[in-house]
């Protein structure tokens, strides 16, 4: 999501079925930072995911994102 000229907020972790919304991971980062971060996250996901695990579920299991007490991501 654009925040200003050349700056973005990065949201990740939504569920395909709509039961979980994206969660802000970073704020005020540029395109280069986004690409570096995503490369790292995708490499981690590729090497450590469980069979059938989605990227959003991996983000929760690995602790990058957290689930609140009512089931919402925080």
Q: Return the ∠ at Cα 20 (arms to 29 and 63), rounded to 5°.
A: 60
CA-wise closest residue to 44 among 62, 24, 31 = 62
Domain ranges (residues) in the chain:
2-61
pLDDT above 60 (res 49): yes
On the question of pLDDT at 69 being above 80, the answer is no
**Alpha-carbon gap, residue 20 to 57, rounded angstroms:** 10
The residue written with tokens 């395109």 in the block is 31
- In the sheet that holds 23-29, the strands lie side by side as 2-4, 7-12, 23-29
> What is the CATH code of the structural domain delimited by 2-61?
3.30.413.10
pLDDT digits (tens, 9 = 90+) for 31-46: 999 999 999 999 999 9
**DSSP secondary structure letter of residue 11:** E
């Amino acid at each position: 999501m654009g925040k200003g000229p050349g700056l973005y907020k990065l949201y990740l972790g939504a569920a395909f079925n709509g039961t979980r919304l994206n969660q802000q991971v970073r704020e005020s980062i540029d395109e280069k930072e986004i690409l570096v971060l995503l490369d790292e996250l995708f490499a981690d996901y590729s090497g450590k995911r469980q069979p059938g695990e989605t990227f959003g579920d991996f983000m929760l299991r690995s602790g990058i994102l957290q689930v609140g007490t009512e089931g919402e991501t925080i």
